[in-house]
Amino acid sequence: MEFVDGQNLREILSARHVLRPDVAARIALQVASALEHARRNGLMHRDIKPENILITTDGVVKVADFGLSRALAESRATQANVLMGTAAYLAPEQVQGETVDHRADIYSLGIVLFEMLTGKLPFGGDSPVVVAYKRVAEDVPSAMSINPGVPRELDVIVARATGRAASSRFATAGQMVEALREQAPRSVGGLVHHTQAIPIVGEETIAVQRRGGGAEGPARRSKRKRDLRRPRWLALLLLLAVIAATIYVIAGRTPSVAVPGVTNMLQADAIAALTARGFKTSTQNEFNATVTAGNVISQAPREGAKAAKGSTITLYISNGPVTVTVPRVKLMLFSYAQRRLTAAGFKVMKVDAFSDTVRKGRVIDQDPSADAIVPKGTTITLTVSTGPNLVAVPDVTKKSQADATNALETAGFVVSVKQTMSETVPKGNVISQSPNAGTKLANGSTVTLTVSTGPPPVKVPNLLCMTRKQAQDALNHAGLKGNFQGLSGDTKRVVDQDPVAGADVPKGSTVNVVMGYGTTC
């Protein structure tokens, strides 16, 4: 195992908390270079974190602990139910147990870069499992929102590296290297102090191998003394070689010019502007919810950076927002519908409404409708039933049938009528109602009215041969009135009547009575 004179990145972050953006970019660039080399040799790391990033005292960054990668490569196993790697740095596909590729390492490096720039991790939680699963449902926040000193271009790199979908990240670590070059200084020396040998973490930890052997012996000490006695002219010769190489590079260097800013421009306009300044262009497309489709999201190198004429400027072109299909949640319980929509990446707004047909707590309608194609994150408005609209039944007793019916139908009820005789309620008026006044019913419920047909009929008594007094008493007893005609006098008798005896007439009716001699009595 190689001895590395320096510290791991975790020790540096514990002491400094936040690194300068250019220093953080340089460290990330070297780690990305190592990951690209591993990718080209068919290896993934799967556990990129500050503890596995070693930095020597002269600023060289080394990636340690490829043990997990080798073990997985040898077994060719993808374990769906095991979270491999440290929870805080896992890619979403690792958390979900899906098949992963080298882009999972790019995600982990993006989290490390975020931590170097902000001094904190993007996700927190009560347990490693909570932290791990947050990245499945949430995007990594902007590093600039936590540390305003982070350059926008570096913030864009963090965002690309930590895309939730592997397809939205850098395609290779090599692409991330190119994006980081403009942000990185030449060295990160001076960050670390001399340290002890790296302790062995476990059997699967594989550190960078050392070329030499064990302890320094007599032969090595003798050689070191001879090295110290080498002529000083050798150092002078090396200095002259460096100067000559520098002159050669400067003489053959292509003139550098400032890169123009083309963000938010149409792709064709941006390419034309860069071509006019002597640059070549390459494009990469990605989804973006804020930049119009076909416009430039960002560029690398950034606006104002110096770049040689003829060099390539990479433009990241918006495909517009990610679009998804709205699932059908109509008639579902609101709680189930809300969970389903939230899991699919939608926002939910609830609106309550009465419904006579949909049960309380279930979705009456949704907007946008099911199967609509909308941008991810769209707000879906759910109209949820609060049950039927209950209305108090008005009091319509003693009213005429017509007035009572009109009042009930205006309140939203259906009217049913039955009739009965009444000695106290005039004909055509409401005797009673069911349900009673004040009862709360759903819209469309039926209210039954009992309507008077007037008092019950009485039979006309037989008045023939009666004296006037006798006839009057009989009519009074039956509840009828008499209209006496003909001869007068106490000896006169009833000789005719209308209606005839036994006829049914309403109580209070008048009977016509004819008085005469009554010769037949």
Bridge partners (DSSP) listed for residue 258:
306
The continuous run of DSSP H or E covering 27 comes out as helix 21-40
**Residue 152 neighbours by CB under 8 Å, 6+ apart:** 144, 298, 302
- Beta strand pairing status for 379-385 and 347-353? parallel
**Tokens standing for residue 112:** 């490390």
Could you write out the DSSP letters of every residue in 319-372?
Answer: --SPEEEPPP-TTSBHHHHHHHHHHTT-EEEEEEE--SSS-TTBEEEEESPTT-
347's torsion region: left (phi>0), alpha (psi -120 to 50) or beta? beta
Q: Which amino acid is at 54?
A: L
Beta carbons of 134 and 111 less than 8 angstroms apart: no
- CB-count burial class (<10 Å; 0-12, 13-18, 19+) for 43: middle
The question of whether 47 is a catalytic residue gets the answer yes
**Tokens standing for residue 415:** 């009217």
CA 35 to chain CA centroid, nearest Å: 34
Instruction: State how far the Cα of 484 lies from the Cα of 225, in Å rounded to an integer.
Output: 163
Could you write out the DSSP letters of every residue in 377-442?
Answer: TPEEEEEEE----EEEPPP-TTSBHHHHHHHHHHTT-EEEEEEE--SSS-TTBEEEEESPTT-EEE
Q: Is the dihedral of CA 342, 109, 104, 318 positive or negative?
A: positive
- Beta strand pairing status for 510-516 and 481-486? parallel
Instruction: State how far the Cα of 63 lies from the Cα of 51, in Å rounded to an integer.
Output: 9
| Catalytic residue (one of 5, 47, 365, 395) | 47
Q: Which positions are catalytic?
A: 47
